[in-house]
Chains A and B, each alone.
Chain A
């Protein structure tokens, strides 16, 4: 390219357009992939919730949890279950008093958090807390905290109090960003809730043997325990797809616009370049260079601009996506593990592929013009000019 400044500006323009395209491709698939990732974080393919509800969608719980658990384990192909009870707890004393979200889990099979340091939930009075909980309680790993299952604000009386040793710090997958959370043994949380929570769970996660048909297991489970609703990850993803269709449409429209802008940029630059060199192309044709070769040369120019912009845009797009993920992670109610933009090589290839096609198409019109110039007339006009 002879006009470096102009070419650099065009490449930068294409890079911005490519970055937006990549981000839109990442956005359109990212939320779904992110959702799948954190639902499958420990490999549980089924979520069992009270009949007619979605996991943690309401405060409803499943009664007779032990019996339900036994029934689920008895379903063919189910190889592991992880019961979970969710409840609000109050942190007493220490730095400040406040509410936190508590998860009653079974340490060995839990799928709600990953340990950052310390020990997982083991003994009856041990707990794993997240960083927000530790900050709320003004505690560190190894400290003891007082928590209560209930609090009467009029009488200022706590009920279901329990003293827990904070054995470890964890990163919770499903809690909102900034929400204090603590995981403790399921039986402990049930006891703290008194008769109201005895033998109750909010959710049971079930893992199906590798290679088994998850949908068949789900149906068998619902037949075996009619008072629950079992939802598979695939079903959940379908529901997420429906809810996120708005985002996908937005991403599709913005992606299409960015491709259009890239196309116009490249077409404009290559057209201007061809217009400046009509004499050159006419001479090439006059000395016997085939039309196809002229087309090829102009197409290559368009393609080179597109691909240079695409590669730069790839870096720019990934950087932008990371920055946006950080900003959006503070969105209220979003689980910590959720990301809007997820980089997958397929997304990068898809963007590169689209930009490749755009580059070829963008060069096609000026290439056709360059190859079809009337040689004699062009040379005469150039000589006069």
Chain B
């Protein structure tokens, strides 16, 4: 990994929480049944904190992550990212907000197979109309940061699973988001490769990135400063493992 960390994600730390969740609810109908996936959840994530959300399958973790990232809309309550209510945003605005303020990492990496690693990282910047020279330089910097400086021109099919996930992390950081959201980022990786991604997240967090991770991976969860345990759509335990 390159030592020249770009301190990509976060601006100067603020007293205001990056993420504030208030009485958040999400229900949906499944046939004749109404499923309450998230049932009145409240918590804050301060600037620069790494929070893991854990719990059994179906407890509402992924639904929660989608709500935090303006992918889904709450049935009630609020999600404030840097003070902006993302749940109330119309679709176009929410899309733009995700582009500029939220970084996503998914279990399956979903890189564009016809693009090189560098082009994949450039994609969100191109969408944000960052000038070509600038985005190329930043893509190169980010790929070096995640340890892929020598593989910038490789296509996803030429990279290992761990390397692809690193490219996905670099892509998530492209537009300097306020918040990095990750859904089972080690879910498709073996233990050794997963450990590499955990190290990368640790490095990101040390460099100031605010991270919320949803995971079943005990090792990943324990690497965070704080673990939120969910069950049946509720927070059952909010555990601080270490201070920032």
Given contacts A280-B110, A287-B172, contact A376 B66 (CB under 8 A): yes
Given contacts A2-B114, A293-B127, A383-B184, contact A288 B100 (CB under 8 A): yes
A32: Cβ under 8 A from any B Cβ? no
Within 8 A of B (CB), among A266-308: 279-280, 283-291, 293
Chain B residues with Cβ below 8 Å from A289 are 95, 99, 123-124, 127
Report which of A286, A379, A382, A383 forms a contact with B98, defined as CB distance below 8 A: A286
In the complex, what distance in Å separates the CA atom of A153 from the CA atom of B177?
Answer: 104
Report which of B91, B171, B183, B187 forms a contact with A287, defined as CB distance below 8 A: B171
Chain B residues with Cβ below 8 Å from A285 are 95
One of B46-54, B77-85, B101-109, B232-240 contacting the partner: B101-109
Given contacts A287-B171, A291-B95, contact A279 B113 (CB under 8 A): no
A4: Cβ under 8 A from any B Cβ? no
- Chain B residue at minimal CB-CB distance from A376: B66
Contact B112 A280 (CB under 8 A): yes
In the complex, what distance in Å separates the CA atom of A376 from the CA atom of B69?
Answer: 10
B72: Cβ under 8 A from any A Cβ? yes
Contact A375 B66 (CB under 8 A): yes
A380: Cβ under 8 A from any B Cβ? yes
Contact B107 A287 (CB under 8 A): no
B41: Cβ under 8 A from any A Cβ? no
Chain B residues with Cβ below 8 Å from A383 are 62, 106-108, 183-184, 187
| Closest Cβ–Cβ distance, residue A47 to chain B (whole Å) | 63
Given contacts A288-B96, A376-B71, A379-B183, contact A279 B108 (CB under 8 A): yes
Interface string of A6-30 (1 = CB under 8 A from B): 0000000000000000000000000
Per the CB 8 Å criterion, the residue count for chain A at the interface is 19
| Closest Cβ–Cβ distance, residue A295 to chain B (whole Å) | 13
In the complex, what distance in Å separates the CA atom of A288 from the CA atom of B69?
Answer: 10
| Closest Cβ–Cβ distance, residue A140 to chain B (whole Å) | 67
Chain B residues with Cβ below 8 Å from A379 are 62, 66, 71, 106, 183
B165: Cβ under 8 A from any A Cβ? no
Chain B residues with Cβ below 8 Å from A286 are 69, 71, 98, 104, 106
In the complex, what distance in Å separates the CA atom of A380 from the CA atom of B107?
Answer: 10
| Closest Cβ–Cβ distance, residue A278 to chain B (whole Å) | 10
- Chain A residue at minimal CB-CB distance from B127: A289
In the complex, what distance in Å separates the CA atom of A2 from the CA atom of B102?
Answer: 30
Interface string of B34-64 (1 = CB under 8 A from A): 0000000000000000000000000000110
Interface string of B119-132 (1 = CB under 8 A from A): 00001100110000
| Closest Cβ–Cβ distance, residue A290 to chain B (whole Å) | 6
Report which of A279, A283, A284, A290 forms a contact with B92, defined as CB distance below 8 A: A290
Contact A283 B104 (CB under 8 A): yes
Contact B99 A287 (CB under 8 A): yes
In the complex, what distance in Å separates the CA atom of A380 from the CA atom of B214?
Answer: 13
In the complex, what distance in Å separates the CA atom of A2 from the CA atom of B92?
Answer: 30
Given contacts A290-B92, A290-B95, contact A376 B63 (CB under 8 A): yes
Contact A283 B106 (CB under 8 A): yes
Chain A residues with Cβ below 8 Å from B96 are 288, 290
Report which of A280, A287, A291, A380 forms a contact with B104, defined as CB distance below 8 A: A287
Chain A residues with Cβ below 8 Å from B62 are 376, 379-380, 383
- Chain B residue at minimal CB-CB distance from A374: B72
| Closest Cβ–Cβ distance, residue B56 to chain A (whole Å) | 15
- Chain B residue at minimal CB-CB distance from A385: B108
Contact B110 A283 (CB under 8 A): yes
Residue positions of B touching A, CB distance < 8 A: 62-63, 66, 69, 71-72, 91-92, 95-100, 102-104, 106-108, 110, 112-114, 123-124, 127-128, 171-172, 175, 183-184, 187
Kindly list the 3 A-B residue pairs having the minimum CB-CB distance in the complex, ordered from nearest: A288-B99, A283-B110, A376-B66
Known: A375-B66, A379-B66. 4 other contacts (CB 8 A): A280-B110, A287-B171, A288-B102, A289-B127
Q: List 23 A-B contacts (CB under 8 A).
A: A2-B113, A283-B110, A284-B123, A286-B98, A287-B103, A287-B124, A287-B172, A288-B95, A288-B98, A288-B100, A288-B102, A288-B127, A288-B128, A289-B99, A289-B124, A293-B127, A375-B71, A376-B66, A376-B71, A376-B72, A379-B62, A379-B183, A382-B108
